[in-house]
């Protein structure tokens, strides 16, 4: 028996809604369980069996100086990576989008290759090279090590926007007597204003969650990911879930504020 067109549309809508429900459930259900586990009393992160609602693990978290020191280190490293990765990525993007040469594909592959290189290799090579130059492991070396591949992400973001910029705008500015610096400051930089924010945000997040490269370059210091990974060997407690709840809350607040600002901009 053939289905009518209306029945097919209804069936397709139900199938699509079911797929979306499964998709978002797959994405967000682990996050929801992680948040709920932060308010359960057992000493291991778990939702079932549910014992009793508690804020004890937030108290434990705020009393744990090691975690907060590692969070501060992660923030400092992330800021340093943004400061380096943005100008490096922008310079590389400008070079590749303006270069008219047969060497462009080779340069593009060369500049993208750090993204494809395992983080362990980047960390070890960074440590060996800079140790020979007299720089020991620590926050500065971690910033340098992370920038080697995060700058490539920044470059790709800038390239995606620069490829949509009409070259005639730059040519017109130069024909009217503007210098190259004036062209960059009055045409290219304003055009990339939103891209700077996006590239900085992505670079910071890539730095903040990085583990493989950081493990080899951080030396005696610790970042948040390195601290949590070391805690796994001893057994995690729900204070890590409590920390995750705080970051999820901050992320949601920032996203809402950003959406509201864009709406009324």
Q: pLDDT by residue (tens digit) across 138-178?
A: 899 999 999 999 999 999 999 988 888 777 777 787 777 77
Q: pLDDT digit string (tens) for 216-245?
A: 999 888 898 888 888 877 777 888 888 888
Question: Is the bond preceding 97 in cis, omega lying within 30 degrees of 0?
Answer: no
> Tokens 């910029």 — which residue?
165
pTM of the model: 0.83
193: left (phi over 0), alpha (psi -120 to 50) or beta: alpha
Return the sign of the alpha-carbon dihedral for residues 248, 225, 139, 119: negative
User: Which ranges of 99-217 would DSSP assign to H, the alpha helix?
Assistant: 104-116, 119-132, 139-162, 167-175, 180-183, 189-191, 193-208, 212-217
Terminal alpha carbon distance of the chain: 55
């Amino acid at each position: 028996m053939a289905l009518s067109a209306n029945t097919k549309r209804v069936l397709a809508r139900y199938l699509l809604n079911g797929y979306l429900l499964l998709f978002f459930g797959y994405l967000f259900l682990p996050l929801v369980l992680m948040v709920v586990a932060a308010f359960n009393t057992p000493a291991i992160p778990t939702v079932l069996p549910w014992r009793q609602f508690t804020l004890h693990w937030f108290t434990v978290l705020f009393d744990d100086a090691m975690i907060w020191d590692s969070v501060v280190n992660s923030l400092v490293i992330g800021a340093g990576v943004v400061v380096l990765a943005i100008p490096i990525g922008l310079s590389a993007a400008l070079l590749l989008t303006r270069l008219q040469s047969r060497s462009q594909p080779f340069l593009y592959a060369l500049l993208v290759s750090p993204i494809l290189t395992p983080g362990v290799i980047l960390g070890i090579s960074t440590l060996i090279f800079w140790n020979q130059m007299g720089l020991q492991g620590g926050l500065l070396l971690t910033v340098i090590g992370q920038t080697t591949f995060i700058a490539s992400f920044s470059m790709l973001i800038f390239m995606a926007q620069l490829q949509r910029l009409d070259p005639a705008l730059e040519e017109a500015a130069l024909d009217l007597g503007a210098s190259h610096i004036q062209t960059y400051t009055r045409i290219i930089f304003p055009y990339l204003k939103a891209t700077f924010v996006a590239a900085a945000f992505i670079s910071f997040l890539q730095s903040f969650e990085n583990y493989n490269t950081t493990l080899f370059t951080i030396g005696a210091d610790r970042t948040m990911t390195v601290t949590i990974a070391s805690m796994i060997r001893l057994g995690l407690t729900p204070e890590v879930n409590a920390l995750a709840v705080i970051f999820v809350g901050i992320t949601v607040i920032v996203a809402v504020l950003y959406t509201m600002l864009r709406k009324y901009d």
